[in-house]
Amino acid sequence: MLRKLCLLLLLPLGALAADQTGVYSLYQEASLSTAIQKITVQQIASGTRDIQFKTASMWCNAATTFTLSLNGTAATATTSTPTILNGTAATATGWTSSNVGSGTTIQKYDFLAGANEKVIELSDFKILKGAGTAANLTIATTSITATCRISIKWSESK
């Protein structure tokens, strides 16, 4: 009886996992010379999956401010293929050296030169399927001369 009860309790979890199509990462390391590094994860025009953000990480060898923003004018350059951590290919598009327009600033993170990598939780951010290309999440540095790394991790579900 206990075994049947445990199986019944676990069934909803299996159904949720079945809807998830994969986990993805977009990463860029850039050597900047008085420039801005900006990466964007963006819903496609007719997106068929929800995008659930997980985490982002940021590091730089010089002092900078990282800005997290949402829903800028759609990026059109420079596309970058997300890395599949598990599952099928991502439907969200990745943009490194992104030309996304200014969106709504959510948070700014001041970073000291050479400090440890900063990891931020993004689970409160979700883009629904069908939201269109102006539905995106971007992380950008200030204009600096340095080497910086930015990574965004997310999952997609039907």
Burial of residue 86 (CB within 10 Å: 0-12, 13-18, 19+) is exposed
Specify the CATH number for 21-157; select among 2.60.120, 2.60.40, 1.10.10, 2.20.100. 2.60.120
The rounded distance, in Å, linking the Cα atoms of 106 and 127 is 15
- Distance separating alpha carbons of residues 45 and 72, to the nearest angstrom: 14
Residue 109 contacts residue 6 (beta carbons within 8 Å): no
The pLDDT score that the predictor gives to residue 90 is 95
Spatial distance between the Cα atoms of 64 and 143, rounded to a whole number of angstroms: 8
pLDDT in tens, the chain (158 residues): 544 433 334 444 444 455 878 999 999 999 999 999 999 999 999 999 999 999 999 999 999 999 999 999 999 999 999 999 999 999 999 999 999 998 999 999 999 998 999 999 999 999 999 999 999 999 999 999 999 999 999 999 99
Contacts of 129 (CB under 8 A, 6+ apart): 43, 47, 48, 49, 50
Contact assessment for residue 68 and residue 35, using Cβ atoms and an 8 Å cutoff? no
Query: Do residues 72 and 138 lie in contact, with contact meaning Cβ atoms separated by under 8 Å?
Result: yes
Closest residue by Cα to residue 95 from 124, 123, 137: 137
Residue 114: per-residue pLDDT: 84
What amino acid is encoded at 97 in this protein? Answer: S
pLDDT value at residue 18:
52
